[in-house]
Structure 1
Amino acid sequence: MTAADLNRRTALQVFIAGGSAAVLAGCGASGNAPPSSPAGSTNSISLTDQRGRTLTFARPVARVVTIPMPSASLLVAVDRSADHLAAMHNASWVAMRDGIMGAMFPAALDLPHDIATQDFTANVESIRALNPDVVVQWSDAQLIEPLEKAGLQVLGLKNSGTQEDVDAWVAMFAAMLGKPERATELKTRSDRELAEVKALASGRASQGPSILYFNRFTGGLKVAGANSYNDFYIKLVGGSNPPTGKDPLTGPGMVGVDIEQVLRWDPEVILLGNFDAAMPQDIYSDPVWQTVSAVRSKRVYKVPLGGYRWDPPGQESPLMWHWLGDIAFPQQRSLVRDKAAEYFRFLYNHELTKAELDKILRTAENGQSANYRQFNA
């Protein structure tokens, strides 16, 4: 049994006080016993966040401010509406505007999105004025303390970028919305897709390509190193990640590199993330990159953007796993379009159109890249 499998057995316990529902989601957080309900309470909700702090709500939350970037779209997916989202980080808003979340839930684009700086420091007075039931924030003490000192209730999320974290976030959001059964649905579906991707990878006879993910390309190169979600799914589908291979980088997460290092790695596939505007054509047309294997074989791809960016962990991560598997091991016809259509019904109660699927999968931007016709309608 792998360490990841053991981690997935570590339960984040979410307890609905006064009721019998409990949601168990894989999590790297502490496995504290569920707190008892307050005296005299019959409908209160208690849960433990990823700091180990217990939060109690008298009723399901109605107004949620989200600061960590995945949390706005994740809340919408758990709720299947944007009705309880009160404000979000600007980067979350940009993803909604540029993806199709804004088309599915147009009212979300009218919500405040200037409530935190780029480094997630909260604008406390702006948030207080919104009168939220809870503020979702990364669990760093320096980010949470100003909010708690202002009398706000804060749900702390761990920023370690694992699938167990996604499961934990879903469980906490479902609990505080009063929909614990939704967490079970999402985790059951995610686990099924994960098992399918693992089975596909183990059944392949050939070694996968080396795949380099750029979190940033313009204005300085940043790639996914150890303990990143991108490293997880590159290896999940059977590929190798150069920054954690024979010539590894020091330091976890997203690490800055120079072009000489990339040339030494000579990746066979390059993924361009959704945190800047770089596109495959930018690399194909730049003389500096012409000797790289991925460029010579036209295997540079812009990562899809759906209800949220597919490159970090989130509710659409199973679609990223399947998409990347077909990038690494091209098919005559990928099933990702069909899976995405089904997943969007499940997550958002939305029927994707052909044009929306093309936009999500970036069929135009990736049209020059090898084997991308497999994703066409």
Structure 2
Amino acid sequence: MWKRYTKTALLSLVLSVNLQAKTITDVAGNQIDIADNVTRIADLWNANNQIVLLLGGMDKVVATTSYIQSNPWFAEVYPNIKNVTAMGSGRNLQTEELLGSHPDVVIVPTPMMVEELNRAKLKGVLAIFHDFEGLKKTVWLTAEIIGENAPAIAENYIKELDENIAFVAERTKGLAENDKPLAVHITGGESLTTIDGGKTIIGDWQRKGGARPAFPELENAVDVGLEEIIKANPDVITIGGGNAARAVTEIKQNPAWQTISAVKNGRVFVNPIGTFMWDRYSAEEALQVLWAAQIFHPALFKDLDMIEKTQAFYKKYYNYELTKENAKRILDALPPVK
């Protein structure tokens, strides 16, 4: 009788350990019970895959997006991404396919996706942000999901992010408001008049980098028209996305843009792209704020070596040895060379 009781007790203990859960709180305040040891993550927010990569959790990812799978720098740093199932662009859900991948948790960027996942009895977690504080919260949330060594990496990363922001703030603290350049960020080369305004992560790094957003009250991807850009007369123009280099050439050659201060003074820049675009929702925002400060205030940051900074970041967080040539290619938003 005693022996039978012991076996039952042991079985109950094993089951309780396997079913043990922890509660996380996503960015909307939703509380979700997930397994204490998550082993299968579906990450359907493009940008968050990079945060998982930084935190050392990509081996747990069983579903990603087509954008991440086709990103040349992501594949360079994490070649196994080609073996992870890609489920769409990150803008919609393929619920049946998701159910087949048996994820412990599904990370998504919109409340509607969370609702759809809940209806399918999947554990949806909302992860999205619009400023650096939101980035830090999302890094912590993702680290909680991954577990193991991820929280320690998150702590180191956030410390470095805060140090970079403080470094720029210290060097720019004596600037009068008029000494801060007026900045416009063009979303991508597909439409030269679609910009990201000040009420976004872009506006946050513009301000932290020592600039003034030319459109402080606007959100992401707003078509303002060329007349409004000419009227704003920005001192610096940055361009995101994969077609940025072509867009820079087009702006420099188009007579309609030539009255703008940034164009006249040769201050139109391609925004860097690494394992994700630096300008938006990226863990590489820790580098973006340094890069932005240097292009906004080259005299103040002439000693800042962005190639070295990028190499060090990739070694520290991705355990990837980045050559100087390839670091320069990231800064120029170009794919790696072998």
Superposed pair shares fold, TM > 0.5: yes
Q: 1:344 to 1:236 in 2, by over 3 A?
A: same
Give CA-to-partner distance per residue, 1:302-360, whole Å, 9 cap, x none.
Answer: 10011211001321112101111110111445321221122112211112112210211
C-alpha distance in structure 2 between counterparts of 1:333 and 1:226, whole Å: 28
2:143 to 146, 165, 174: 174
User: In structure 1, the residue corresponding to 2:159 is in which secondary structure?
Assistant: helix
Largest Rg, 1 or 2: 2
C-alpha distance in structure 2 between counterparts of 1:336 and 1:256, whole Å: 31
The size of the alignment, in residue pairs, is 314
C-alpha distance in structure 1 between counterparts of 2:35 and 2:190, whole Å: 47
C-alpha distance in structure 2 between counterparts of 1:74 and 1:355, whole Å: 24
User: In structure 2, the residue corresponding to 1:279 is in which secondary structure?
Assistant: helix
Whether the aligned pair in 2 keeps the contact of 1:51 and 1:139 (CA below 8 Å) is no
C-alpha distance in structure 1 between counterparts of 2:220 and 2:325, whole Å: 34
1:61 to 34, 38, 42: 38
Give CA-to-partner distance per residue, 1:117-153, whole Å, 9 cap, x none.
Answer: 56x121111222222111101241x222222211211
User: In structure 1, the residue corresponding to 2:97 is in which secondary structure?
Assistant: helix
Q: 1:340 to 1:132 in 2, by over 3 A?
A: same
C-alpha distance in structure 2 between counterparts of 1:184 and 1:311, whole Å: 22
Whether the aligned pair in 2 keeps the contact of 1:218 and 1:276 (CA below 8 Å) is yes
* Residue of structure 2 in register with 1:112 after alignment: 85
User: In structure 2, the residue corresponding to 1:235 is in which secondary structure?
Assistant: helix
Higher helix proportion: 2
* Residue of structure 1 in register with 2:259 after alignment: 291
1:93 is the counterpart of 2:93:
no
What RMSD, in angstroms, separates the aligned Cα atoms of the two structures? 2.4
Whether the aligned pair in 1 keeps the contact of 2:242 and 2:333 (CA below 8 Å) is no
C-alpha distance in structure 1 between counterparts of 2:208 and 2:163, whole Å: 14
Whether the aligned pair in 2 keeps the contact of 1:266 and 1:294 (CA below 8 Å) is yes
Within a 5 Å distance, the mapping from 1:202-351 to structure 2 comes to 202-204=173-175, 207-219=179-191, 221-244=193-216, 251-274=218-241, 276-277=243-244, 278-331=246-299, 332-351=302-321
User: In structure 1, the residue corresponding to 2:163 is in which secondary structure?
Assistant: helix
Task: After TM superposition, give the deviation of residue 188 of structure 1 in Å.
Answer: 1.6
For structure 1, list consecutive stretches of 5 or more residues without a partner in the other structure: 1-38, 366-377
For residue 299 of structure 1, what is the amino acid of its counterpart? R
Task: After TM superposition, give the deviation of residue 262 of structure 1 in Å.
Answer: 0.8
Task: After TM superposition, give the deviation of residue 161 of structure 1 in Å.
Answer: 1.0
Whether the aligned pair in 1 keeps the contact of 2:28 and 2:126 (CA below 8 Å) is yes
TM-score by length of 1: 0.77
Q: 1:41 to 1:112 in 2, by over 3 A?
A: closer
For residue 279 of structure 2, what is the amino acid of its counterpart? D
User: In structure 2, the residue corresponding to 1:243 is in which secondary structure?
Assistant: coil
User: In structure 1, the residue corresponding to 2:262 is in which secondary structure?
Assistant: helix
TM-score by length of 2: 0.85
Within a 5 Å distance, the mapping from 1:38-187 to structure 2 comes to 44-79=21-56, 82-94=58-70, 96-97=71-72, 100-113=73-86, 115-117=87-89, 120-140=91-111, 142-157=112-127, 159-179=128-148, 180-187=151-158
C-alpha distance in structure 1 between counterparts of 2:160 and 2:192, whole Å: 37
For residue 122 of structure 1, what is the amino acid of its counterpart? L
C-alpha distance in structure 2 between counterparts of 1:58 and 1:82, whole Å: 17
Give CA-to-partner distance per residue, 1:213-234, whole Å, 9 cap, x none.
Answer: 0113424622122321111111
